[in-house]
Amino acid sequence: MAVHRLVVSWHMKAATMCEFSKQEFIGGLQVLGINSLEKFCEKIPFMRMELKDDQKFREIYNFAFGWAKEKGQKSLALDTAIRMWQLLFAEKQWPLVEHWSQFLQARHNKAISRDTWSQLLEFARTVDPALSNYDAEGARSYLIDEFVEYLNEHGIIQNVQLNDLSQK
């Protein structure tokens, strides 16, 4: 999926992936100032650029969880979450996204909660890729702490002070 489809859905406040009600569709086009296919095509680069703005990226990222999950579910299917992270973090260039995906497939293999979804964005934004500013005592999902352990175990990241994560 192209990332601009997600941004368009965010503008349209679409409740479900790949579905637009008439109200969502028309309202979104009006907000974007689009009244022709030509104008829609002209807006695509603008929509992609919105992901460069940290606040809009956060809004789109948070929107993506509810948009991508199955109707009636509280959590996001793991394969869907991974695809969404790969799509979104390709724009923000979080270098650990592939390792995160591999870790989840190897060790988690369950649906992703909204808490984990939200906390991963904060982790990716605030902790540098070498994890030199990682705080093992910080309040976050156990899954993220297990991810840091996984990175160490596999020699992906070296010398991170874990301060005995197992006591958390």
d(CA 148, CA 157) in angstroms, rounded, equals 8
Cα separation, 59 vs 157, whole angstroms: 30
Q: Tell me: the pLDDT tens digits for 15-65?
A: 988 889 999 999 999 999 999 999 999 998 998 889 999 999 999 999 999
What's the rounded mean pLDDT across residues 10-17? 91
- Tens digits of per-residue pLDDT, 85-143? 999 998 878 999 999 999 999 999 899 999 999 999 999 999 988 888 988 887 778 89
Give the helix ranges, DSSP H, for the chain: 3-12, 22-32, 37-49, 54-68, 78-92, 97-103, 114-126, 142-153
Its pTM stands at 0.85
The predicted pLDDT at position 164 comes to 37
Instruction: Answer yes or no: is pLDDT of 162 > 70.
Output: no
Residue 1, pLDDT score: 61
Nearest to 82 by CA among 53, 56, 106: 106
Share of the chain above pLDDT 70, in %: 93
pLDDT score of 158: 61
Three-state secondary structure call for residue 112: strand
